[in-house]
């Protein structure tokens, strides 16, 4: 590597260069994997919200990358996201004997490949998201 920065050690220069390539990868990741595109917002609070959302998406991406590295899975976050994208959350509505309904947000069971990834990373998926919700039915609806 050639540089005009003589006061830096080769190790520090290499680390700085790798940070630069990491930042460039962040922009590529944001545009391709996270589907974050430049948006021309008209209001300041929307600009700030977009920046916050983009930062949080990147922070989650890096966190997943660190978990993968610690688990010996490399740095291929995209592959793991594609694998986990097949997990779905579904609303299940159950009727009670009293004529009311309860809504549960349930998660599909991981397949063997997903289970292996979760186990390697030390992660668990809950059976449900959130608490059960009572669904109120409008009085003007009748049973079909």
Q: Measuring CA to CA, which residue among 66, 85, 65 is closest to residue 77?
A: 65
Q: Is the pTM of this model over 0.75?
A: no
Q: Measuring CA to CA, which residue among 122, 56, 125 is closest to residue 84?
A: 125
Asked which of 82, 109, 126 is the last residue of a domain, the reply is: 82
3 lies in some domain = no
Same domain, residue pair 14 and 78 = yes
Same domain, residue pair 47 and 108 = no
Same domain, residue pair 76 and 109 = no
Residue pair 64/81 in contact (Cβ under 8 Å)? The answer is yes
123 lies in some domain = yes
4 lies in some domain = no
Task: State which residues form the domain around 53.
Answer: 10-82
70 lies in some domain = yes
Provide the angle, in degrees to the nearest 10, between the axes of the packed helices 77-84 and 112-121: 130
> What is the average pLDDT value for the chain, to the nearest integer?
82
Same domain, residue pair 14 and 76 = yes
17 lies in some domain = yes
144 lies in some domain = no
d(CA 47, CA 56): 14
Same domain, residue pair 75 and 121 = no
pLDDT tens, position by position, 38-75: 667 788 888 888 888 878 888 888 898 898 999 898 87
95 lies in some domain = yes
Same domain, residue pair 65 and 109 = no
Q: Pick out the chain residues at pLDDT < 50.
A: 144
Total number of domains constituting the chain: 2
Residue pair 13/3 in contact (Cβ under 8 Å)? The answer is yes
Give residue 144's pLDDT: 46
130 lies in some domain = yes
Same domain, residue pair 56 and 19 = yes
Q: What angle do CA 76, 23, 53 make, to 5 degrees?
A: 85
Give residue 37's pLDDT: 66
């Amino acid at each position: 590597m050639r540089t005009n920065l003589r006061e830096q050690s080769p190790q520090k220069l290499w680390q700085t260069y790798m940070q630069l390539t990491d930042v460039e990868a962040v922009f590529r990741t944001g545009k391709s994997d996270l589907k974050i595109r430049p948006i021309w917002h008209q209001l300041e609070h929307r600009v700030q919200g977009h920046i916050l959302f983009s930062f949080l998406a990147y922070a989650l991406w890096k966190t997943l990358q660190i978990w993968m590295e610690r688990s010996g899975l490399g740095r291929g976050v995209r592959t793991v996201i594609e694998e986990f994208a097949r997990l779905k959350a579904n609303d299940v509505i159950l009727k009670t004997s009293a004529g009311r309904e309860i809504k549960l947000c349930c998660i599909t069971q991981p397949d063997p490949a997903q289970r292996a990834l979760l186990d390697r990373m030390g992660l668990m998926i809950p059976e449900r998201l959130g608490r059960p919700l009572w669904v109120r039915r409008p009085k003007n609806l009748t049973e079909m």
